Amino acid sequence: MKITLAFIKKEFLQIIRDPSSLLIAFILPTVLLFIYTYGINLDFTHIRLGINNNDNEKQSNELIDKFKQNNYINMLLYNNRQLMFNDLTQGKIQAALTIPIDFSRQLSAGKEVSLQLIIDGANYNQISYAQNYIQQITSEWLNQTYLHDFQQAAVEIRPRYLFNQNNDGRRAVVPSSLAVTMTLIGILLTALVVSREWERGTMEALLAANIQPIQFVIGKYIPYFIVGMLSLSFSLAVIIFIFHIPFHGSFFVLFIISSLFFYASLGIGLIISNCLHDQMLASMAALIIGFLPALMMSGVVFPILSMPTFFRWLTQLLPPTHYVSFIKNEFMVGSITQTTILSGILLFILGFLFSIIVYKKTARRLDD
Amino acid sequence: MDKQYIIDIQNLHKTFKSGKITAINHLSLKIEKGQTIGLIGADGAGKTTLLRLINGLLLPDEGYISINGLNPWNDKKFFINKISYMPQKFALYEDLTIKENLDFYAKLKNIDKNFNNLLDFAGLTLFQNRLVGNLSGGMKQKLGLICALMGNPDLLLLDEPSVGVDPVSRRELLKMVKKTIHNNATVIWATAYMDEAHGFDRVIVIDKGKIIYQGKPYDLAPDTKKFEEKIIALMGGFSLQASEVAKNFIAKPHHHEYVVEADNLSKKYGEFYAVKNNSFKIKAGKIFGLLGPNGAGKSTSFKMMCGLIKPTSGTARIMGIDIIKNPSAARANIGYMAQKFSLYPNLSVQQNLNFFAGAYGLSKNKADDAIKNIIDIFAFKPFLNDNANDLPLGFKQRLSLACAIMHNPSVLFLDEPTSGVDVITRREFWHHITSLAKKGVSVLITTHFMDEAEFCDDISLFYQGKTIAAGKPQELKKSTKCQTLEDAFIKIILDQKRRD
């Protein structure tokens, strides 16, 4: 016990002396959260749309005005259809709309008309956005102009976005990005701490002094757990008080589950650090093992349900997967007993599993 | 088991890389209580592995070790504070202070914090709150030694504590151990210094994982010089053939009498002079030794001479070219070999040579010629495809030297090239250096080995940024009335300290 305490004290002294851990714990999350909140927007805006109007009557010009007024669309008019297609091929515009010659006439006659929309499919994500925007604008215009001519639509869908009334992307993105950021911090903090002992030769002295693996493991977990929780509190304050993202859950529950989450994340970092005795390698591994899957496979960016079965199972091994679903709820809905308990249990199981591996991987001798 | 033996080793065998490398080869050894034992061996002979095995840091493949009847692997907790080990690499936390390091290790070993006495002895009391990272090499070694001496151990295992330490600090380390251990304590001290080993109760010489000599050093030879010859002979011997390196080396002809001239070089960091008004001249084809305690400003002088740091005032000329006005032209005449092995360990010999030829900016044809030449000169042919890391230490050093003289420089700068190198490899290296000097290459060298300093034509003794003595080795010995250069060195430094 005395030895473990001495070890923890030593780690804290090192943390205070070493600006890089403080940088990781407090500056890095601020920067990342700022980028996620203001820099990244998952909605596509400013889609460049080319229109070739062959009709040039009142109706088609009205429609074009609608496009012109819309914020999400930057419109360009083409007289020459071939020219428009050339620009589409060269990526100068992302979608090309052709209005046929007899558009106004047919429409006035009450007949069905088709508009041709060609979308650059190279950027996979923008296809549906471009299509949706353009369809929406067209049908809105149609409703306003010809509502009196047609019968009221039998069914109208009026969406209401539950838990996010304004359909504000930030409210959903920021809490999950907090989860990604905390994963990175948890892993980065610990990924270097064992490899550093190896690289500087102090591991040899520790082993020679017969420090027990359990003392070593606890001595490495506790200080960085505390730093991690401080980092989380700090980030929460930034999100709530500076970015004004509303928080509907309970701080008590949040801290309980976050503790379990850090328990698991620090474990991954310590496994990396125990396996790689080189600081450079360990930090690379921390980024690749810790950050990238957290970003891509935890459901923050790409939905887990649309992944193949194998990967869906794989995501369950990543602590951020469970934390993301929990923290989104906590922010936007409030504590939901069922998901909270489930996330808690899964995170604990992962954390426990990882800490056993850390314990097993901790060197007893120099050639372990 | 006999009571008077503290260590009893039988048929110890240890291999690495799944049996490919044999570090300890069926070794048996008994060590009596209360003795100080020097452990000598070439690099890679198995000294460190043996110490680590005794300490339980490694498990043997075969064999048995008993320390006072206990087994170092299973019973370690019973004698943890009775056996102390000081690893070769500084095992200290550089971002903690002296006091914090000591507190930590004391608690780790469950020892009372009674180290004030040791701190006084090491002269570190005043620096207790200084970060270890800011200490000089000698101070770090003393602190490491305090950590090992804490708790009054029965068995002290020291892995080359005097590597890279100046003669003054080296004597202090030895004194610290002798004065603070109890009468019955046993010390195993690995060393590359033959004078150190000669002073111990017994020496053990190991080679290729086997003990090749064990006994009183005095029985082997009555004085240090002869002792060294005997040890070298035991370790396979070193025959003084004509240096292959120098045989085919053709020096660039030039007309300069003095190839290196340092003219009042000074470097100031804040209010502190790292180097103050340093002036000296090196004659063509001479070896100039720059000696001094750790932190005296040798490396700073070196870096200024190479044009790596800008002097605060003063200048240096290499082959008459001013290092400040025209650094790259001056540098082109210098071959530089750093203290650390600075080749690429996972490139082959050929690849390293190719790279350095490119780095020196040799054109394709010139580079091919130079490399071909170097391969002949250094006899690298059998090793061309081996990784630099897998070469024997002597060859690594040759390769470093080869890369340093690839562009046929007229001046060689060697910064502690023999630190941590065993006695045979040192001999071989100096043989190459003196042969190159005979061919007209001028050499500037720093070293902590005073026996090496004897090979220099001129030496300059550096202390606190200033030259405090200069001259030929013979003259220095005469003026201080000392038998050896080491005694002269210590006397001059201590005189200077008294005067300050």
In terms of domains, do A351 and A222 share one? yes
Q: Do A209 and B95 touch (CB under 8 A)?
A: no
Q: What is the pLDDT of residue A259?
A: 94
CA dist., res. B428 & res. B378, Å (int): 12
Mean pLDDT, to the nearest integer, of A280-300?
A: 84
Q: Which residues of chain A lie closer than 8 angstroms to B100, CB-CB?
A: 10, 13
A109 within a domain of the structure (yes/no) = yes
Is the confidence at residue A9, as pLDDT, over 70? yes
Strand ranges in B33-137 using DSSP code E only, listed in sequence order = 36-41, 62-67, 83-86
Q: Do A6 and B91 touch (CB under 8 A)?
A: no
- Specify the long-range contacts of residues B123-128, CB closer than 8 Å, at least 24 apart: B123/B172, B124/B98, B127/B98, B128/B97, B128/B98, B128/B99
Question: Looking at residue B166, what is its pLDDT?
Answer: 83
Domain range for A131 is 47-146
d(CA B308, CA B323): 10
- How far from the centroid of its chain's Cα atoms is residue A175's Cα? 9
B110 and A3: CB-CB below 8 Å?
yes
| Domain-embedded: residue A268 | yes
Question: Are A114 and A188 contained in the same domain?
Answer: no
Looking at the structure of chain A, the number of domains it has is: 2
- Cβ atoms of B172 and B301 within 8 Å: the answer is no
Phi first, then psi: give them for residue B467, nearest 5 degrees: -80, 120
Q: Are residue A349 and residue A277 in the same domain, yes or no? A: yes
pLDDT in tens, A163-212: 666 666 677 778 888 888 888 888 888 988 899 888 888 888 888 887 88
Task: Say how far apart CA A264 and CA A228 lie, in whole Å.
Answer: 12
What element of type H or E holds B186? strand B186-190
| Burial class (CB within 10 angstroms; exposed 0-12, middle 13-18, buried 19+) of B493 | buried
pLDDT of the residue at B2: 47
Mean pLDDT value of segment A98-126? 82
Query: Chain B contact for A364, CB < 8 A?
Result: no
Query: Which of A18, A210, A366 comes nearest B95 by C-beta?
Result: A18
User: For residue A138, what are the contacts with CB-CB under 8 A and spacing of at least 6?
Assistant: A63, A66, A115
Cα separation, B166 vs B485, whole angstroms: 13
- Asked if residue A304 is part of any domain, the answer here is yes
Strands (DSSP E) contained in B255-301 are 258-269, 272-283, 287-291
Task: Name the one residue in this structure whose structure tokens are 């053939």.
Answer: B241
Choose one of A115, A146, A177: the last residue of a domain: A146
Tens-place pLDDT, residues B375-403: 877 778 888 888 888 777 777 888 888 88
Structural domain includes residue A125 = yes
The dihedral of CA B74, B78, B82, B85: what is its sign?
positive
pLDDT averaged over chain B? 85
Q: Give exposure, B154-190, as e/b (b: 16+ Cβ within 10 Å).
A: bbbbbbbbbbbbbbbbbebbbebbeebbeeebbbbbb
CA distances, A15 to each of A193, A263, B397, B486 (Å): 10, 19, 39, 43
The tokens describing A173, both together, are: 């993105």
Can you read off the two tokens belonging to residue B451? Answer: 């026996």
Task: Determine the distance in angstroms separating the CA of A7 from the nearest CA of chain B, rounded to an integer.
Answer: 7
Taking the Cβ of residue A1 and every Cβ of chain B, the question of whether any pair is shorter than 8 Å is answered with no
Structure confidence at residue A167 (pLDDT):
60
Q: How far is CA A163 from CA A160, A168, A300, A355, in A?
A: 9, 10, 17, 37
For A51, counting Cβ atoms within 10 Å of its Cβ (0-12 exposed, 13-18 middle, 19+ buried), the class is buried
- Regarding whether A332 and A299 lie in a shared domain, the answer is yes
Q: Which amino acid, B214?
A: Q
**Cβ pair B150, B176 in contact under 8 A:** no
Could you tell me the two tokens for A318? Answer: 């990543």
Residue A29 and residue A22 in contact, taking contact as beta carbons nearer than 8 Å:
no
Whether residues A29 and A52 fall in one domain:
no
Residue of B nearest to A10 (CA): B104
Inter-chain residue contact A10 with B95, CB threshold 8 Å: no
* Nearest partner of B151 among B190, B105, B184, B183, judged by Cα: B105
Question: Distances from the Cα of B21 to the Cαs of A158, A317, B207, B392, in angstroms?
Answer: 76, 40, 14, 13
Spell out which chain B residues touch chain A, with contact meaning CB-CB distance below 8 angstroms: 16, 52, 55-59, 76-77, 80, 85, 87, 89-96, 100, 103-105, 107-110, 131, 147
**B59–A367: do the CB atoms touch at under 8 Å?**
yes
Residue whose structure tokens are 């499919």 = A121
Looking at the structure, tell me whether residues A88 and A211 fall in a common domain. no
Q: Which residue of B has its CA nearest to A9?
A: B104
Residues A89 and A174 in one domain: no
- Contact check, Cβ <8 Å, A201/B100: no
Query: Are the C-beta atoms of B400 and B342 separated by less than 8 Å?
Result: yes
Single out the residue of A50, A58, A41, A49 nearest to residue A133, CA to CA.
A49
Evaluate whether residue A180 is within a structural domain: yes
| Domain endpoint, select from A146, A181, A199 | A146
Predicted confidence at residue A44, as pLDDT, reads 65
Judge: A204–B59 Cβ closer than 8 Å, yes or no. no
How far is C-alpha A56 from the chain's CA centre? Answer: 45
Per-residue pLDDT tens for A137-177? 888 888 777 655 555 554 556 666 666 666 666 777 788 88
Contact across the interface for A205 and B105, Cβ inside 8 Å:
yes
Which of B24, B107, B149, B159 should we substitute to test contact with A (largest number of A Cβ atoms within 10 Å)? B107
Pairing of strands B442-446, B83-86: unpaired
Tell me what pLDDT residue A171 has.
Answer: 74
- The share of chain B scoring above pLDDT 70, in percent, equals 97
Q: Which domains does chain B show, CATH number per domain?
A: 5-234 (3.40.50.300), 244-333+409-499 (3.40.50.300)
Smallest CA–CA distance, residue A220 to chain B, in Å, is 15
For B17, which residue in chain A has the nearest alpha carbon?
A367
Look up the CATH number of the domain holding residue A127: 3.40.1710.10
How many other C-beta atoms lie within 10 A of the C-beta of residue A61? 14
CB distance A205–B56 less than 8 Å? no
Mutation pick from B55, B73, B93, B102 vs chain A, by most beta carbons of A within 10 Å, is B93
> Which segments of B235-331 does DSSP mark as H helices, in order?
244-247, 298-305, 327-331
Chain B positions in Cβ-Cβ contact with residue A14 (cut-off 8 Å): 93, 95-96
A159 found inside a domain:
no
Q: Quick one: A187 and A324 in the same domain?
A: yes
The mean pLDDT value for B184-197 works out to: 90
Contact assignment for A13 to B57 by CB distance below 8 Å: no
Any idea which of A295-304, B435-444, B479-488 has the lowest mean pLDDT?
Answer: A295-304
Pick the residue from chain A with its C-alpha nearest to B107: A3
Nearest CA in chain B to A203: B91
Query: Which residue in A has a C-alpha nearest to residue B76's C-alpha?
Result: A210
- Residue A344 covered by a domain: yes
Residues A310, A238, single domain; the answer is yes
pTM (2 decimals)? Answer: 0.77
Residue B1: what pLDDT?
44
**Does any CB of chain B come closer than 8 Å to the CB of residue A210?**
yes
* Residue A51 maps to a domain: yes
Q: Residue A188 and residue A171: Cα distance in Å, rounded?
A: 26
**What one-character-per-residue DSSP string does A196-217 give?**
HHHHTTHHHHHHHTT--HHHHH
If one compares B396 and B241, the residue with the highest pLDDT of the two is B396
Predicted local confidence at residue A305, as pLDDT:
81
Mean pLDDT score across all residues of chain A: 84
Give pLDDT tens digits for B86-130: 988 778 898 899 999 999 988 888 887 778 888 888 888 888 888
Contact A206 B56 (CB under 8 A): no
Q: Are A119 and A211 part of one and the same domain? A: no
**Among A112-116, A313-317, B237-241, B270-274, where is mean pLDDT lowest?**
B237-241
Q: How far is CA B84 from CA A9, A102, B87, B151, B289, in A?
A: 23, 97, 10, 9, 37
User: Can you tell me the mean pLDDT for A14-24?
Assistant: 85
| Residue of A9, A14, A209 lying closest to B80 (CB–CB) | A209
Chain A hits for B95, CB-CB cut-off 8 Å, are 13-14, 17-18
Q: What pLDDT, on a 0 to 100 scale, did the predictor assign at position A150?
A: 54
Residue B70 is classified by DSSP as B
User: Quick one: tokens of B338?
Assistant: 């750093």
**What does the alpha-carbon distance between residue A192 and residue A185 come to, in Å, rounded to a whole number?**
12
Q: Are A215 and A90 in the same domain? A: no
- Residues A132 and A110 both lie in one domain: yes
Rounded to 10 degrees, what is the CA torsion of A177, A181, A183, A186?
-160
pLDDT in tens, B27-76: 999 998 889 999 998 877 888 899 999 988 888 999 989 888 888 888 77
